[in-house]
Every structure is written in structure tokens, then in C-alpha cells.
Structure 1
Amino acid sequence: MTISALPDGPFRGRPLVALLAIVALMLAAANLRGGLVVVGPLVEPIRAALDISASAFSLLTTLPLICFGVVSICVPWLTRCWAPQRLAIAGLLTISLGVALRLVDHYPLVILGTLVLGMAIAVLNVLIPGLVKDFFPRQVGIMTGFYSVTLSLGAGLGVYLAVPLMEQFGNWRYPVALWALLPLFCLLFWLPMLRVRGVGRPSNPVRVSLWRDKIAWAITCYMGLQSFYFYSMATWLPKILLESGLDAHQAGTATALINLVSIPFNLFVPILAARLRSQQWLVLGIFAASFAGVAGLWWQAAAAPMLWASLIGMGCGGSLSLALSFFVLRADNTAQATALSAMAQSIGYLLAALGPVALGVLRDLSGAWQWALGLMLVLQLMQLGFGWFSARPVNVVPDQDK
């Protein structure tokens, strides 16, 4: 069915505007990680330019996660004051400002830019699932899949292009500056969206509270545990493999497989989720891949590192896209989807910020990775339980509706 034929969508008879909306959403998604991760491959030249320690540099990657957790919860209030499209445009402009501040040679201003960048991304993280439901109420599966894939591709491009662009232009600021300019290009597609009114947006926005809803809490815990899992594995998998006897090239290749393998699962899991009344078997399949990957690392990391990394990538891609799907599938309207997204991402990213620290502490205390990986296996079982409960065909019920 074409977008123009949808009887309950905002683009009926306007396929070109629908195409603009798709491009606008995807371009926004592409900007949600690139400006953050681009600094990773540039650690040494940035540290030299700013004259900072490794721990000071680590704030450039950990502070945004804290911003995600703190700011996300405020987004539903913002949507009651301003239209989501206006907030999206303001978010893109703020991302550009935040990245630009990270180009200077003054460390306090770089930290300020990191905070600004993290807050802007937090707003868009919460807004986009609601806008997907708002703009494409009958195509939430495929649109969530596209969004999830574009999110991963944006992160991948940020890392992949960093060193080649630095070598091409002779300065680390060029690859970083790219992510200050791209949000401005996105505005060409977002400005026409100011005239679009989605079908799921109430005429008089009201406060939606889900803090006493069991489904909302289950989705929140599922989102938090999958974030904990992904950021822990992304941080420590290279170290785990190096300590198991692999060389740097093998460890790097295995780690890269996590993002590569996750891409098809980013796309197809939301499409399947939208077609199923219950997503419990999807939850079980994703758990099986994740659990097997971590169990393989716990048993003997060097035995089949590419297989373990591929299984972890399947689990990371599938669990993230399924969590994003829950935001729209378990909500009756855009306001509920935004509130659920805010609740789940605020707590989820705070948990994510704790993940690498917790595993690192366990490694230091025990002298090996078995205790840390054992914790991950236990948390995977907990994630299965929360996911199984979330996957039932039951929508959230706000406090005022109970």
C-alpha cells in the first residue's frame, strides 16, 4: 500500500511530502550518534591539542549518556509547550552548536559543547519514535526499522570517516566539523514539516504519566538492560579478546562485527514486531543469540571470537530495535509514545552509563573477566523476563485513565 493511499495518515494524496518526511526523520537519526563517536578514533590528536589526560578525555563519551538519562524525562513537558517539529529543528541546531564547541582548544568549552550536544540528542532520541507514530501510524514497523538502521549507520560513518578525513585534511577538526554542518543540511527537509499535523496528536496536549504502569516499567527495564549490554560490550570486548590471546587486528575486526551484524536485525525486527500480535518469540530469539554470545566469551573467548561477536551483534541490534518498537506498539497515540520513550530512555541511558564502569570494577577486583561476564549472563535472564512481559499485546494505561 502506498503512503498516499493511507486513509488515516497525514500524507494522503501528498506522496512528495511523505517522502520529505521520511528523509527528514532518517537524516535526523543519522545525526544522533556521529557527532559523539567521531572523537573515539581521534583520541590521541585531541588529547594532544587539549593537553588532557585519558580520564579527562573519557568525559567526552560518558557525559552524553548521563545527559540522555537526565534530559529525556523532560521531553514530554517540552512537547506540551512546543510542536514536536519545532523541537526537532531546535534540536538539530543545538547539535550543530554543541559539535562546534568541541572544535575549540579550551577544554571547559569542549565540555560545555559535550553537554549541549548530549542534551540535544536526548531530545531527539525521545521525539523521533513519537513522530514515527504521528506521521506513519500504519507503517510504524518499517519506519522504526529504517530509523534504527540509520542510527547505526550514522554511528558507523562517524567512526569510519574520522581518520581518513583527518589524514586527508591534516587536522582532526575536519571530521568533527562535518557533524556540525550535517544538522544544518537536515533543516532543508525539516522546515516543510512545520506545516504537517499528525493524526495521533491531541489538539490540547495533556500530561501523560506512565510511572505506575507495569507495562511501561517492563519496557523501561528492557530498554535499560539492553543499553547496559550494548555499551558494556562495545567498551570491553576488545580488551576481553586481547587478554584471551588475540592480536589487536583480530580484536578490532571482531568488535566491528557487532555493528555490522546488527544492521539487518535493526531493520527486520521492527517489521516483524509490527506484524505480530505478541512479540514474545522475538524476545526469546534475541535472548538466545545474546546469551550464547556472552556464554561463549565466558567459556573460551579465543575459541570462536567472530562467532561470539556476531551473536552479540544479533542480540544488540534486535534488542535495540525491539525496544524502540515497543515505544510505538504499546502506545495508543503520539503523546503516550513520547511519554513511554522518555521514561524508558531516561532510566535506560543512566543504566548504560553504569555498565562499562561496573564490568571494569569486577574485572579489577577479580583479576579476570569471568565475574563480569557472569553478571552479563544474569542480566540477560532478567532482560528476557522484562521483554517477555513487554511483548504481550497489552498497551500502557496512563495514570489519568486508570
Structure 2
Amino acid sequence: MTSTAFPDGPFHGRPLVAALAVAALMLAAANLRGGIVVVGPLVEQIRQTLAISASAFSLLTTLPLICFGVISICVPALTRRWSPQVLAIGGLLLISLGVGLRLVDHYPVVLLGTLLLGAAIALLNVLIPGLVKAFFPRRVGLMTGLYSVTLSVGAGLGVFLAVPLMELFGSWRHPVALWALLPLFCLLFWLPMLRVRGVGRPSNPVRVSLWRDRLAWAITFYMGLQSFYFYSMATWLPKILLESGLDGHQAGTATALINLVSIPFNLFVPILAARMRDQRILVLGIFVASLSGLAGLWWQPAAAPMLWASLIGVGCGSSLSLALSFFVLRAANTAQATALSAMAQSIGYLLAAAGPATLGLMRDLGGAWQGALLLMMVLQFLQFGFGWYSARSAGVVADQDR
């Protein structure tokens, strides 16, 4: 199934409005990670201000992932009551509120803000693939690629700007506050989207259920396993390399490559996927890159750490972009795309939340990283199998369509 099978979107013949819609989608994507990751480089300053332990601080990064899993499944029900544009605006306001609460010198309030932030991001995570389908049905590959790139760039800026802004203004609150203000700026582009016709809440909303569809489950597990893979590697790769004898600078540079190398693949994989009826060759290439990187890390991590990290980055970036592409390429309409996105991201991020803890436990029990890396390689074979099934030229079938 390709995007060309669908009619023109609501911006046909209106290039200026289409450009405004592109800006709205990309600015929303830029806000989906920065408010979470910005606290990572500021850990010591925030811990001192709040007087909390390292385990208490870890909740500020793990709670959003749990929210992604729990809240995502509720989004299709919300779209039957409110239009996607209204929900997107509400999500941006909640991001601003959630990040703002994380500036308060009271840990319970910070946790509340973290929960609101995670819930808002989960809402937008699910909505955006459906909006891409509705706004640009003939450009789903390009728009999904741009969305993936913007997501990565937003996360990268959140980490990159954290310390310089703190040093410039003398407080960790300034880099965090930036991510409370940016969603409000996005509203300038989203408010005009309320006037776009043909995308709002249907007059007779129908509940779309994909829980009995095999293809939907395959896409769900592909999404889940690639999320497990990414968050596990992003968390533990520095530790693995440090224990192999590398210094902190080398370990940090190699870990940064995971995100840097993934950016061009974030863009081009969805474009290629949209032009293919069958994406199995992409699934195979992703599998080879990921397995090679993990095998090198398992065999001798210090031998070529930059190469291993680059291969892992290719696999992580490409698999995320392909999973996002499946949400729109395997759905017949916006309602199906939203339901598939909700199902896959709900289970996917719950799996992702368990990834770092699972690898850390295996390291503690085994005294080395070989067992944990072997598990990751085994899971790559499972991810490959689900991806192979998902990449066939087919579409999901909802219960009411059976």
C-alpha cells in the first residue's frame, strides 16, 4: 500500500496553507523530547536544588516512558470526542504546563509536572502520524521523514543547549524553561489549523479496533522491540565502553554518534518506504546493521567503538522511521492510522521502559555485559521477524471491516 492510493489532502492548490501546516507539524515534533532530555546534563544541579537521591531523580526520565505506554491507548477515544487539531493544541499547552511545574522547588510538584509532560507527549506521539495521513496523504514518506528528523534534532538540542544556557544565565531553570515557552510559540501555527476542513471529528465517530489484526500486532512488536533496543543502548553504551577501557571522552563521543548517524536515515528511510509496495529489503538492511553493531560490541567493544556505535545508530534511526512509516502506510484512513499508532506506541513504550532495567539487572547478575548484549542480539532476530511480516504489501483490518 502506498500513499499515492489516497486522494489529495486538504491543502491541494493552497501552498501557503500547506507550508503553515508543515511548520505546525514540525514545531510540534521538536517539542516531543526536549522537555524530557534537558534534565539529563543538569542532574547534579537539580538533585542539589530538590535534595533528592539518584533513584528519585531517575523517575524524572522513566515516568514519561511509562506515561507514553499508558496514555497512548486512550488517544483514539479522545479523537472521537474532539478533533485532532484541538487535541494537538491541548497537548502543547500541557507540555508547557508540565515543564513549568518541573521548575518548582518541591519534588512532588516536579513529579506531577513530569506526569503531565509524559501524558501530553504521548497524546502528540499518537496524533501526529494520523495528522500526517490527513494533511499530506500523497507525501507521507517525506513528511514522516521530516517528522523523524525533527524529533531527533529536538532531542539533540535539548541535551546540547542545557549546559551552555545554564552557564550563560547562572541557573539550571533557564534551559528547562525554554521548553515550557516553545510549545506556546507553536500555538501561533496550530490555531489556524482549526479551520482546516475534512480533518476534524467525524459526525458519526466509529471506534476503530485493531486488536485482533495480525499485521497490527506485528507492527506493534516491531515498534516495541526497536524502542527497547534504542533506550537500552542509549542508557548503557557509555558504561559498556567505559568498562572496556575507553575514557569518558571516547565513550561520550561514541554514544553521541547513535543520534548523529541516525539523522539522515530518519529522513530517507520513510521516503524510500513510501515508494515501495514491499519494504522487506529495508527491514533486512536494518537487521544487518543492528546485528553487526551489537556483535562487534559483544566481541570486542574497544576494537572499533565508533564503528559499532555508528552501526547501532543506523539500526536505531532506521527502525524508528520505518515503524512510524508503517503507521500510515498500512492504514486506510486517519482513524486507522491513529488507532495503529496508539496500539503500537502504548505497548512499545512499556517495553522500552523495561529495557534499561533488564540490561542493568543482567549486568549485575552476570558481572559482565556479554549476557545482556547476547539478549539484545536474540531480540534483533525477533524484531527482524516482526518487521518482515509488517513490510509486506498489505493493510490492517479493523474489527468493523471484518
TM-score w.r.t. the length of structure 2 is 0.98
> Post-superposition shift, 1:205?
1.9
Q: Distance in 2 between matches of 1:367 and 1:280?
A: 38
Runs of 4+ in structure 1 off by over 6 angstroms are: none
Q: Distance in 2 between matches of 1:98 and 1:214?
A: 37
> Post-superposition shift, 1:198?
3.9
Per-residue CA distance 1:282-320 (angstroms, 9 max, x = gap):
000011000000000000000000000000000000000
Per-residue CA distance 1:51-101 (angstroms, 9 max, x = gap):
000000000000000000000000000000000000000000000000000
For these two proteins, the number of residue pairs brought into alignment is 397
* Contact 1:8 1:199 (C-alpha < 8 Å) held by counterparts: no
Q: Distance in 2 between matches of 1:200 and 1:325?
A: 22
Corresponding position of 1:394: 394
* Contact 2:7 2:138 (C-alpha < 8 Å) held by counterparts: no
| Letter aligned with residue 192 of structure 1 | P
Query: Which residues of structure 1 form unaligned runs of 5+?
Result: 1-5
Corresponding position of 1:103: 103
Q: Distance in 2 between matches of 1:349 and 1:191?
A: 29
Corresponding position of 1:352: 352
Q: Distance in 2 between matches of 1:132 and 1:196?
A: 13
Corresponding position of 2:236: 236
> Post-superposition shift, 1:201?
7.2
Work out whether 1:144 is the aligned partner of 2:144.
Answer: yes
Q: Distance in 1 between matches of 2:326 and 2:356?
A: 25
* Contact 2:80 2:201 (C-alpha < 8 Å) held by counterparts: no
Query: Which residues of structure 2 form unaligned runs of 5+?
Result: 1-5
Q: Distance in 2 between matches of 1:190 and 1:287?
A: 38
Per-residue CA distance 1:217-260 (angstroms, 9 max, x = gap):
00000000000000000000000000000000000000000000
> Post-superposition shift, 1:400?
1.1
Corresponding position of 2:318: 318
> Post-superposition shift, 1:202?
4.6
Moved more, 230-239 or 203-212: 203-212
State the SS of the aligned residue for 1:89. helix
Q: Distance in 2 between matches of 1:211 and 1:9?
A: 28
Q: How does 1:252-401 map to 2 (within 5 A)?
A: 252-401=252-401
Q: CA-atom RMSD, angstroms?
A: 1.0
Q: Distance in 1 between matches of 2:285 and 2:165?
A: 39
| Letter aligned with residue 205 of structure 1 | P
Corresponding position of 2:209: 209
* Contact 2:83 2:201 (C-alpha < 8 Å) held by counterparts: no
State the SS of the aligned residue for 2:161. helix
Q: Distance in 2 between matches of 1:359 and 1:103?
A: 32
Identity %: 83
Corresponding position of 1:189: 189
State the SS of the aligned residue for 1:81. coil
| Letter aligned with residue 78 of structure 2 | L
Alpha-carbon spacing, 1:198–1:314, altered in 2? closer, same or farther (3 Å): farther
Work out whether 1:16 is the aligned partner of 2:11.
Answer: no
Corresponding position of 1:126: 126
State the SS of the aligned residue for 1:271. helix
